[in-house]
Amino acid sequence: MKEIIIDGNSYKFDPGQTVLEVARGNDIDIPTLCYSEHLSITGACRMCLVENKENGSLETACTLPARDGLEVETDNDKIYDARKTVLDLILSDHPMTCMTCEANGDCQLQDLAYQFDIEESSYGSKKEDRFELEERNSFIVYDPDKCILCGKCVRADSELQCSDAIEFSERGFKTKVAAAFDEGLGGEDSSCVFCGLCVENCPTAALSYKPARKKGREYELRKQRTTCGYCGVGCQVELNIKGNEVIKVDSVYDDTAPNPDGEMCVKGRFAYGFIDSPDRLKYPLIKKDGEFVESSWDEALDYIADNLSRIRDEHGGREIGALSSARCTNEENYIMQKFMRAVMKTNSVEHCARL
């Protein structure tokens, strides 16, 4: 059996696993910033450094393949110094605005600063913004000054959403993430579909949901998992609610869901405004004397049943047709056509997805 040694203990591993995966699988803590189990691995942030005991070199646990007999240490002075220096450097280029930041309480950088006890970077704080805030669209705000260039947004966009709408631009210290021709996500040449997966993957508040800004932070929000109502796929989503208002919609990560890596479309992510809309229909309406009038469900259903039966009996089923919605499930659509054929005696059934 193949085994690797982590901090003096032997662990079994599956072929293809990295040291980070083996460690995490065994509750050994290794800090990460650019790693995500849903994305390809780049080894960019260098937070996950561990020491390879074969030659004393520091290597990134997220990229280091486990192999038989490999011995690593995940916690010693050298590793701590390197990780803390990396963090210290990131914080030297990060605005110290946690007080008003959207991500306060939900920020991996903040958590690590807490863990490593860095109140302020030893190189001094970032005093002036180096970039312009990017918010020329209705949904997503990008603040490059808060960006730590972990690249998760770029990978999520390219590997999960397959939009390739964003990439790194410039290089070195000037690097930032940008949409085509730096025209913003809503720009003419942008292929962004506003799925929000980039925001979802951002470890800081470099990316945030525009409609949710200033409406509450992580610890104020109640979470409710639900199924997206927009189509029949059945994506799992997480409503974030404050009081009785939906503030934003986060991803759910569940291997059994149809969207296991938190994938969503613009509607599931952003089109929740109807929930609290004053125009929203709450009761059935029946037109009486040319005006819609609120009615009870019983009354409405009776009205439909009576009239459908009457039309069928007086004019025949062929005078009736039905159009169903992609927002219904397969089963509901099935019932609809079955009902129309068997009970209403018509073959005129149609579905909006064919339009």
Partner 1 sequence: MKEYTAIKELPYYEELDFYKKQKRIVLQNCGLIDPEKIDDYIEKKGYQAAAKAITQMKSKEIIEEVKKSGLRGRGGGGFPTGLKWQFAKDAEGEKKYIVCNADEGDPGAFMDRSLLEGDPHKLLEGMMIAAYAIDADEGYIYVRAEYPLAIRRLKKAISQAEELGLLGENIFGTEFNFKIHIKEGAGAFVCGEETALMASIEGKRGTPTSRPPYPAQSGLWGKPTNINNVETYANIPFIIDNGAEEFNKFGTENSSGTKVFALTGKIKNTGLVEVPMGLSLRDIIYDIGGGITDDKGFKAVQTGGPSGGCIPAEQLDLKIDYDSLKEIGAMMGSGGMVVMDEDTCMVDVARFFLTFTQSESCGKCTPCRLGTKRMLEILERITEGEGKKGDIEKLEQLGKVIKEASLCGLGQTAPNPVLTTIKYFRDEYEAHINDKKCPAGQCDALKGSYVIDEDHCIGCGQCKTVCPADAITGKKQKAHTIDPEACISCGACAEVCPVNAISN
Closest C-alpha among 217, 212, 219, 261 to residue 236:
261
Q: Which of 17, 92, 137, 191 binds partner 1 (CB under 8 A)?
A: 92
Return the exposure string of 303-313: e unless at least 16 CB atoms fall within 10 Å of the residue's CB, then b.
Answer: eeeeebeeebe
Region binding ligand FES by CB under 6 A among candidate stretches 26-34, 87-95, 260-268, 330-338:
26-34
HSE-up (13 A, CA, CB side) for residue 333: 16
- Residue 127 CB: number of other CB atoms within 10 A? 7
Choosing among partner 1, ligand FES, none, which partner's interface includes residue 15 (Cβ < 5 to 8 Å by kind)? Answer: none
Tell me which amino acid residue 92 is. Answer: S
Alpha helices (H) in the chain, listed in sequence order: 19-25, 77-92, 108-115, 152-155, 197-201, 266-270, 297-315, 330-338
| Two structure tokens written together for 340 | 């129309």
Give the C-alpha separation, 99 to 269, whole Å: 27
Choosing among partner 1, ligand FES, none, which partner's interface includes residue 57 (Cβ < 5 to 8 Å by kind)? Answer: partner 1
* Residue 90 interacts with ligand FES (CB under 6 A): yes or no: no
Q: Least distance in Å: CB of 108 to ligand FES? A: 10
Give the C-alpha separation, 166 to 200, whole Å: 15
Binding mask 44-83 for partner 1 (x = CB under 8 A): xxxx-x-------xx-x--x-x------------x--xx-
Q: What residues from 168 to 207 belong to the interface with partner 1 (CB under 8 A)?
A: 168, 170-175
Choosing among ligand FES, partner 1, none, which partner's interface includes residue 35 (Cβ < 5 to 8 Å by kind)? Answer: ligand FES
Choosing among partner 1, ligand FES, none, which partner's interface includes residue 82 (Cβ < 5 to 8 Å by kind)? Answer: partner 1
Q: Which of 44, 118, 308, 320 binds ligand FES (CB under 6 A)?
A: 44
Q: Least distance in Å: CB of 328 to ligand FES? A: 43
Q: Which of 19, 21, 22, 32 binds ligand FES (CB under 6 A)?
A: 32
Instruction: Return all residues near 88 (Cβ < 8 A) that are at least 6 apart.
Output: 118, 121, 122, 123
* Residue 149 interacts with partner 1 (CB under 8 A): yes or no: yes
Give the C-alpha separation, 23 to 95, whole Å: 32
Q: What residues from 200 to 229 belong to the interface with ligand FES (CB under 6 A)?
A: none
Q: Least distance in Å: CB of 173 to partner 1? A: 5
Binding mask 59-88 for ligand FES (x = CB under 6 A): -x-x--------------------------
- DSSP state at residue 83: H
